[in-house]
Amino acid sequence: MESLSPLLWYGKPVQSQVQLKGRDLLTLKNFTGEEIQYMLWLSADLKFRIKQKGEYLPLLQGKSLGMIFEKRSTRTRLSTETGFALLGGHPSFLTTQDIHLGVNESLTDTARVLSSMTDAVLARVYKQSDLDILAKEATIPIVNGLSDLYHPIQILADYLTLQEHYGSLKGLTLSWIGDGNNILHSIMMSAAKFGMHLQAATPKGYEPDPNIVKLAEQYAKENGTRLSMTNDPLEAARGGNVLITDTWISMGQEDEKKKRLQAFQGYQVTMKTAKVAASDWTFLHCLPRKPEEVDDEVFYSPRSLVFPEAENRKWTIMAVMVSLLTDYSPVLQKPKF
């Protein structure tokens, strides 16, 4: 079911009780369901006002953003740079050649320097612990652009895409088929807060972090949702509304390629997988995609939402920056989650 046109939501600005200004976004574990909903509401608002209505909203005029990238990325870099600039701000891109975290300058010193020159930092790093130190030492918001443990800004884009397609998130069953990685961890830290069920299949030896599983089980219990973990891809796909996978070999794991390809045999998402899913199934992949992860028939099918999902990386990161740096309130009526 497609959601109602945003034109039907447009009204007077609504003051939300949620206040995120000045916060860090390191993991969705630190955010309530209402707070995550607010970021998605703001994403829908900005997308409607800027893309649909053609408004110019210089909400970040005079603001600057430091972008630390230890790992390359098409979507994270492009969505953040273009989104921050579209809102009137100035993004500064820093590679490992510009800023080698904790090597040629301590994390503490880096955090203090960046705090004096920028209004926020988005860091795409190898280690979550580096983000934790940056956040502890900085006096400005630190946003996780990806780490070994979490990828929260990707999940916001996924949820906005699903909300647009289904009209609501509550009651959806998410079927994860792949590695027990940072994307799965971020889903586990948030899905139950929307009333979504999660069925995850990972190969033996590639399960998600046990501490994160334990917390996800607690969230499921608190919110009355189902969480199931298996090593059988078809079991995870059975009855699922959303089939989700990701790369099997992340940056930094190239030397494990042969071993991983062997371990993930049978995990490719195909129409055979989709046959056991719900009749309204859709497919998500955060990209870049390799054919062994999902075949062309599914990836390029009308059920695939991967390209709207990629575009929504821009609107959701814009919403994150606006919510952490300004007092702006959405003009759209709050969508149904």
Which residues form the catalytic set? Answer: 286
H or E stretch including 244?
strand 242-245
**Positive or negative: CA dihedral 13, 309, 132, 59:** negative
* Chain length of the chain: 337
Q: Give the sheet arrangement for strand 142-146, strand by strand.
A: 90-95, 64-69, 120-124, 142-146
Rg (CA), the chain: 19
Of residues 126, 41, 127, 54, the one with CA closest to residue 86: 54
CA distances from 201 to 4, 13, 166, 220, 233 (A): 33, 42, 23, 17, 5
What sign for the dihedral angle of Cα 54, 158, 148, 150?
positive
Longest dimension (CA), the chain: 56
Give the three-class secondary structure for 66: strand
Question: The dihedral of CA 121, 124, 126, 132: what is its sign?
Answer: positive
Mapped onto helix, strand or coil, the DSSP state of residue 142 is strand
Q: What angle do CA 169, 334, 225 make, to 5 degrees?
A: 25
DSSP code per residue over 205-227: T-PPPHHHHHHHHHHHHHHT--E
Task: Give, in order, the Cα–Cα distances in Å from 296 to each of 41, 251, 300, 301, 312.
Answer: 32, 23, 6, 8, 22
